[in-house]
């Protein structure tokens, strides 16, 4: 057998909480890749946020050695991120594999994400290995789960592994199945180098490191490699594999999974989906499926404490080192001072980055309402890309506006079809098609403006369908649209950070909702504060926060002045978290409420 025949490249797909990460841990433990002593729960999820939320954001592959029928095999496990924001990254990870383990919780059966992920795997022509997990639970229904997988997904389950990732029961059957059913890679080491970057990260010693799957050819230290999309070339300084820590090797050959370091300064040069080849002996055509990571959601990020601007800048620079998909430029807001306009892959990506800024860098930040990229044409035919409502040209000079449109696919059990169709219609969706996947499940296809889904669409779909529906979307272009910029006036002054771009038909409802919501989050002041929603100078909604009529008329009992002082100091401390805008003090939550408006 050749070296390649004993390689298996695979990933694990599962619904959230069905035990993907636990299984990955167990596989590594069982193959002695990691000793039990060093085992940290859910090893592959290396970020705190990933572990807490039970989601994978950054990938970590692992190379394992496993002996089956007297032969030693190299098993490369490539983890996949589990959210629609990262569907492109998922697709590149899948493209690096030949097989996928499908994990289904025996007590919960097939779930929405199971389907979404398994379809992605089927699209990538992967061999699917069904694994029934949590069979040790009293509520486990093994025959029922198998039947569901067969009926809904159409994968035979006679030989499905029945395991408990938690206790380690039957883990070897999974490893055996991987060896038996996942096809060996079919590359040719003698051909010119063809390697796919499925992820990259920044290492302070090695520079930007590309995680790669070698399809053809080989690569070793000293080779001059060419990145086919960025057209940049570098000299390789190190190659290696993940165990799951990076371990240097002599070379990487066809079929293998590992890393390439080449003293590259930024991960912007090691783009996910790019193809690496040799500069002196290149291939003609890059691998299919490359896409630029484009920002689709934008928001302002400001330090709560204006003095922390430089710290925020440094923190973003550091995050950018590891995540080429973050974009940021300086922004100045009247209400919030100096900060940054940032672009993200999606809402979750935005949430993760803001959470990391707060947790890993200890920064208190304010994020403004998310926006998408609009195209605005003025009277003279000049085109502007507007990602920030404050950059909108004045209303009278605008000739037309266009907004990004996505093609949206939603898979839902038919019980929730009505609710979801109502939601899509409400979000200006245009119905394209409906397909019956099976007796129970339906796929809906819509086109929809992106700005209707950046706020809370995903949450809404989940809540309407009790978590069973899943969605995916891709940008399909721009459509002309009747959009307006809506400003919010507090006590007569525009709060630029609260301005949004909204469709004209929805402006009234949204303006009303926004004013009502702001009324609940802005504390009472000593004087009355009108809150107004305004379009082009015309007030479309108004609420009033009445003046505070409250005080603690407590006695300084027996001379206990300290208690009273501390009370006031606490009140004062509370005010520190406020943003002062003219005469109005806004809590940072005010900016977040825009995201969480219930229509």
Partner 1 sequence: MVKNKPMGLYVHIPFCSKKCDYCDFVSYSMNKKAQQQYLDALFSEIDLVKRQYIGKTFDSIYIGGGTPSIVYEGFIAGLARKLFSSFHFAEKTEFTIEINPASFTKEKFFEYVQAGINRISVGVQCLDSKLLALHGRLQSLENIKGTFDILRNSQFPNVNGDLMIGLPGQTRSSVLKTVKFLIKNKVKHISTYGLQVEKGTMTFDKIRRGKFKSIPDKKTVSWYNKIYKLLKKNDYIRYEISNFAKPGFESKHNSKYWDETNYLGLGVPSHSFVDGYRFYNTKRLDTYIDAMNDGKSAVYSKEYLSKANRRTERIMLSLRTIRGLDLEQFEQDFNENLLVSRKDQIDLLISKNMLKIEDGYLKVTDKHFYVSNSIIVSLI
Grouping H, G, I as helix, E, B as strand and the rest as coil, residue 459 is: helix
CA distance 21 to 44: 7
Q: From the CB of 569, what's the least distance to partner 1, in Å?
A: 7
Q: 418 Cβ partners below 8 Å, 6+ apart?
A: none
Half-sphere exposure of 334 (CA within 13 A, CB side): 13
* Shortest reach from residue 550's CB to partner 1, in Å: 4
Question: Minimum distance from CB of 557 to partner 1 (Å)?
Answer: 7
Instruction: Find where tokens 């493209």 sit.
Output: 95
Span near partner 1 by CB under 8 A; candidates 138-146, 184-192, 431-439, 557-565: 557-565
Least CB distance from residue 590 to partner 1, whole Å? 19
- DSSP conformational letter for 42: S
Q: How far is the CB of 543 from partner 1 (least distance, A)?
A: 18
Other C-beta atoms closer than 10 Å to the C-beta of 400 total 12
Q: Of 5, 560, 589, 599, which lies in the binding site for partner 1, with binding defined by CB under 8 A?
A: 560
Nearer Cβ to partner 1 (154/574): 574
Asked if residues 510 and 369 have their Cβ atoms less than 8 Å apart, the reply is no
CB of 585 to partner 1, least distance (A): 9
Among the candidate windows 102-110, 286-294, 409-417, 559-567, which touches partner 1 by CB under 8 A? 559-567
Q: Which is nearer to partner 1, 155 or 489 (CB)?
A: 489
Go through the chain and tell me how many residues it has. Answer: 599
CB burial readout 322-359, b (16+ within 10 A) else e: ebbbbbbeebebebbbbbbbbbbbbbbbbbbbbebbee
Contact 270, 276 (CB under 8 A): no
> Nearer Cβ to partner 1, position 439 or 553?
553
> CB of 29: closest distance to partner 1 in angstroms?
50
| Count of other CB atoms within 10 angstroms of residue 147 | 14
Token pair belonging to 241: 């594999």
Q: Where are the alpha helices (DSSP H) in 388-503?
A: 417-426, 457-464
Nearer to partner 1 among residue 252 and residue 529 (C-beta) = 529
The contact mask relative to partner 1 for 534-553 (x = CB under 8 A, - = no) is --------------xxxxxx
Residue 558 as a binder of partner 1 (CB under 8 A): the answer is yes
Minimal distance, residue 445 CB to partner 1, in Å: 51
70 vs 559, which CB is nearer to partner 1? 559
Q: Which of residues 162-181 bind partner 1 (CB under 8 A)?
A: none
Q: How far is the CB of 574 from partner 1 (least distance, A)?
A: 9
Compute the distance between CA of residue 273 and CA of residue 287 in angstroms, rounded to an integer. 8
Helix axes of 347-359 and 309-322: crossing angle, nearest 10 degrees: 120
CB 233 within 8 Å of CB 248 = no
We find the least distance from the C-beta atom of residue 391 to partner 1, in angstroms, to be: 29
Does position 334 bind partner 1 by CB under 8 A?
A: no
Binding of partner 1 at residue 561 (CB under 8 A)?
A: yes
Quick one: 439 or 552, whose CB is closer to partner 1? 552
Binding test (CB under 8 A) with partner 1, winner from 1, 526, 537, 598: 526
The nearer residue to partner 1, 151 or 528, going by C-beta atoms, is 528
| 3-state secondary structure labels for all residues of 516-582 | HHHHHHCCCCCCCEEEEEEECCEEEEEEEECCCCCCCCCCCHHHCHHHHHHHHHHHHHHHHCEEEEC
Which residue, 61, 55, 47, 34, is CA-closest to 211?
Answer: 61
Cis amide leading into 440 (omega within 30): no
69 is a contact residue toward partner 1 (CB under 8 A):
no
Q: Note whether 439 binds partner 1 by CB under 8 A.
A: no
Distance CA 358, CA 191 (A): 48
Among 583, 589, 596, 599, binds partner 1 (CB under 8 A): 583
List CB contacts of 402: < 8 A, sequence separation 6 or more. 374, 375, 376, 377, 478, 479, 480, 481
Closer of 292 and 569 to partner 1 (Cβ): 569
Residue from 39, 71, 556, 599 binding partner 1 (CB under 8 A): 556
Pick the stretch among 89-97, 243-251, 307-315, 558-566 that binds partner 1 (CB under 8 A): 558-566
Spatial separation of the C-alpha atoms in residues 100 and 77, rounded to whole Å? 9
For the chain, report the end-to-end CA distance as a whole number of angstroms.
Answer: 63
Phi/psi-derived region of residue 9, left when phi > 0, alpha when psi is between -120 and 50, beta in every other case: beta
The reply on whether position 555 binds partner 1 by CB under 8 A is yes
Q: Given the complex with partner 1, which of 154 and 582 has the nearer CB atom? A: 582
Q: Which of residues 562-581 bind partner 1 (CB under 8 A)?
A: 562, 564-565, 568-569, 571-572, 575
Does residue 434 belong to the site contacting partner 1 (CB under 8 A)?
A: no
Site string for partner 1, 204-223 (x = CB under 8 A): --------------------
Name which position in 138, 394, 537, 559 contacts partner 1 (CB under 8 A). 559
Taking the least distance from each CB to partner 1, the nearer of 1 and 526 is: 526
Nearer to partner 1, 414 or 575 (CB): 575
Write down the least CB distance from residue 126 to partner 1, Å: 57
Minimum CB separation of residue 306 from partner 1 in Å reads 15
Structure token pair of residue 577: 């978290």
Residue 479 burial (CB count, 10 A): 13
Q: Provide the binding-site residues for partner 1, judged by CB under 8 A.
A: 526-527, 548-562, 564-565, 568-569, 571-572, 575, 583
């Amino acid at each position: 057998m050749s070296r390649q025949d004993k390689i298996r490249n695979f990933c694990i797909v599962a619904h959230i909480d069905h035990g993907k990460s636990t299984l990955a841990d167990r596989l590594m433990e069982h193959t002695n890749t990691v000793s039990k002593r060093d085992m940290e729960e859910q090893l592959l999820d290396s970020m705190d946020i990933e572990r807490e939320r039970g989601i994978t954001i950054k990938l970590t592959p692992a190379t394992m050695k496993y002996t089956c029928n007297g032969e030693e095999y190299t098993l490369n496990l490539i983890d996949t991120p589990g959210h629609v924001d990262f569907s492109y990254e998922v697709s590149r990870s899948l493209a690096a594999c030949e097989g996928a383990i499908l994990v289904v919780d025996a007590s919960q059966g097939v779930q929405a994400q199971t389907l979404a992920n398994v379809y992605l795997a089927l699209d990538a022509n992967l061999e699917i290995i069904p694994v029934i997990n949590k069979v040790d639970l009293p509520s486990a229904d093994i025959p029922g789960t198998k039947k569901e997988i067969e009926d809904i997904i159409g994968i035979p389950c006679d030989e499905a592994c029945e395991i408990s990732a938690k206790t380690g029961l039957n883990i070897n059957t999974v490893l055996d199945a991987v060896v038996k059913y996942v096809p060996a890679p079919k590359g040719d080491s003698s051909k010119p180098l063809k390697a796919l970057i499925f992820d990259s990260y920044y290492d302070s010693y090695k520079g930007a490191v590309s995680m790669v799957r070698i399809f053809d050819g080989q690569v070793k230290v000293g080779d001059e490699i060419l990145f086919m999309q960025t057209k940049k070339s570098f000299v390789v300084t190190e190659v290696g594999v993940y165990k799951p820590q990076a371990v240097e090797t002599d070379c990487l050959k066809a079929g293998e999974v590992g890393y390439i370091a080449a003293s590259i300064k930024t991960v912007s040069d090691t783009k996910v989906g790019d193809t690496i080849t040799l500069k002196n002996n290149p291939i003609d055509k890059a691998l299919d499926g490359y896409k630029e990571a484009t920002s689709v959601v934008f928001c302002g990020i400001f330090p709560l404490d204006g003095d922390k601007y430089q710290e925020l800048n440094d923190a973003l620079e550091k995050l950018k080192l590891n995540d080429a998909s973050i974009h940021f430029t300086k922004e100045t807001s009247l209400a919030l001072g100096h900060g940054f306009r940032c672009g993200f892959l999606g809402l979750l990506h935005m949430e993760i980055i803001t959470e990391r800024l707060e947790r890993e860098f200890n920064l208190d930040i304010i994020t403004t309402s998310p926006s998408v990229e609009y195209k605005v044409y003025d009277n003279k035919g000049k085109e502007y890309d507007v990602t920030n409502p404050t950059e909108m040209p004045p209303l009278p000079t605008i000739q037309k506006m266009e907004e990004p449109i996505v093609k949206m696919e939603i898979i839902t059990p038919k019980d929730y079809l009505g609710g979801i169709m109502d939601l899509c219609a409400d979000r200006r969706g245009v119905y394209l098609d409906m397909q019956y996947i099976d007796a129970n499940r339906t796929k809906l296809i819509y086109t929809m403006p992106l700005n209707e889904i950046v706020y809370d669409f995903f949450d809404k779909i989940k809540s309407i369908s009790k978590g069973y529906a899943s969605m995916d979307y891709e940008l399909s272009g721009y459509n002309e649209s009747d959009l307006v910029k809506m400003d919010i006036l507090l006590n007569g002054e525009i709060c630029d950070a609260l301005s949004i771009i909204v469709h004209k038909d929805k402006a009234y409802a949204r303006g009303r909702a926004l004013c009502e919501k702001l009324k609940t989050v802005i504390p009472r002041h000593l004087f009355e504060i009108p809150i107004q929603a305004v379009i082009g100078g015309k007030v479309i909604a108004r609420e009033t926060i009445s003046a505070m009529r409250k005080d603690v008329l407590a006695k300084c009992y027996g001379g206990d002045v300290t208690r009273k002082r501390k009370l006031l100091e606490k009140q004062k401390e509370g005010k520190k978290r406020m943003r002062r805008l003219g005469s109005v003090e806004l809590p940072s939550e005010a900016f977040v409420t825009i995201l969480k408006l219930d229509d």
